[in-house]
Amino acid sequence: MRTRIRVGTRASQLALAQTNQVIEELRRVVPGLKFDVISFRTEGDRMHDGRSVEKKDMFTKEIEEALIENKIDIAIHSMKDLTVDLSPGITIAAVPKRANPHDVLISREKRRFMQLPAGSRIGTSSPRRRSQLLAARGDLDFVDIRGNVETRLRKLTSGAYDAIILAAAGLERLHLEHEATEILPTNLMLPAIGQGALAVQSRNSDEEIIKLFTKIDHSITRREIEAERAFGKKLGGNCRTPIAAYAKSYSSKLTIEGMIASLDGRMLVRGRVTSDNPKSIQVGEELASSLLDKGAEALLEKM
């Protein structure tokens, strides 16, 4: 059996923390493994001119190419960065147990979302976050923000924003969860598809690696993620389309909530499906179909 594994990841502090988490999890069940971590600066990481992210694979493409070219053995990504269609020749070998999937508000003056004064500047570049929060409060000023977690926190402290929105999982993995003012409930803010989960990719042909990483695959998380990704795939859209989904498994039942909205938050179509269908992909597709029937198709045509 292979004893040394080449791991590809982004070079950010958060990506490296996530990678180390996966490595330590596998070491606990397979002692003695050695890892060579190879970091990449992706197209998304190289953007310095403030442009919006226009392609879903901007944070994964270079790493996936290295995997296909056998320069690395596995790639570790945030699940929400993956396209709904994987690159040919690549599979998700493991989905470790999901961390906190929610978004959090971090307020400079420690005010909760509904306590923020009208006109407060909220830092977020996510159409999903912006549209849902605009639907709740159209009196706030949503402003783009760039950079990694630490950079965004510094911008908040400097007074550039009154509050920012970040993923809870990222804060927790960087041991910065104390910064959060409020965990946003799902009735206000549904998370991104796959948020809080990690994906360990390998080549389809690498049976040894696939068998090895099944040891840290969390079947419940995988089931939930499959439903969310199927929902997103059925709806289509792109990385600028405000789409969200959150699935939760309870015994034999799977519940998934999803939404699609206009960019200004004035139109928002939301729904929920609970099913005991063991095929989670079909459950996600069922929810997407119900939203299309409720008017999601008209929203997609406008984007």
Does residue 48 surpass a pLDDT of 50? no
Query: What percent of the chain shows pLDDT beyond 70?
Result: 95
Number of domains in the chain: 3
Residues 91, 111: one domain? Answer: no
Is residue 190 assigned to a domain?
no
* Together in a domain, 171 and 298: no
Give yes or no: residues 108 and 170 share one domain.
yes
Q: Which residues pair with 271 in a beta bridge?
A: 258
**Is the model's pLDDT at 50 over the cut of 50?**
no
Q: The tokens 């992706």 sit on which residue?
A: 42
Question: Do 175 and 41 share a structural domain?
Answer: no
For residues 90 and 116, membership in a common domain is answered with no
pLDDT over threshold 70, residue 52 = no
Mean pLDDT of 17-42: 93
- Range(s) of the domain holding residue 113: 103-183
Helix axes 149-158, 13-29, angle to 10 degrees: 140
206 and 80 together in one domain? yes
Q: Find out whether 234 and 289 touch, Cβ atoms under 8 Å.
A: yes
Any idea how long the chain is? 303
- On whether residue 222 sits in a domain, the answer given is no
Answer yes or no: do 68 and 208 share one domain.
yes
How many helices (H) and strands (E) are present in the chain, helices listed first? 9, 13
Q: Quote the pTM value.
A: 0.93
Q: 124, 157, 183: which is the final residue of a domain? A: 183
State mean pLDDT over 1-28.
Answer: 93
When pLDDT is cut at 50, 70 and 90, the band that residue 237 belongs to is: low
* Rounded average pLDDT over 278-293: 95
Please tell me the predicted confidence (pLDDT) of residue 46: 67
What are the Cα distances from residue 79, in Å, to 3, 96, 147, 150, 252? 26, 10, 19, 21, 24
- Domain for residue 237, yes or no? yes
Average of per-residue pLDDT across 224-249: 90
pLDDT of 228 reads 97
| pLDDT of the residue at 47 | 67
Q: Which of 67, 7, 61 is nearest to 39 (CA)?
A: 7
Q: How far apart are the first and last CA of the chain?
A: 50
With beta carbons less than 8 A apart as the criterion, state whether 280 and 254 touch.
yes
**Pair (90, 127) in one structural domain:** no
235 lies in a domain? Answer: yes
> Residue 137 above 50 pLDDT?
yes
For the annotated catalytic residues, the residue numbers are 81
55 and 204 fall within a common domain: yes
At residue 108, the pLDDT reads 95
Q: In what order do the strands lie in the sheet with 74-78?
A: 34-40, 4-10, 74-78, 198-203, 90-94
| Phi-psi sector, 194: left (phi>0), alpha (psi -120 to 50), beta | left
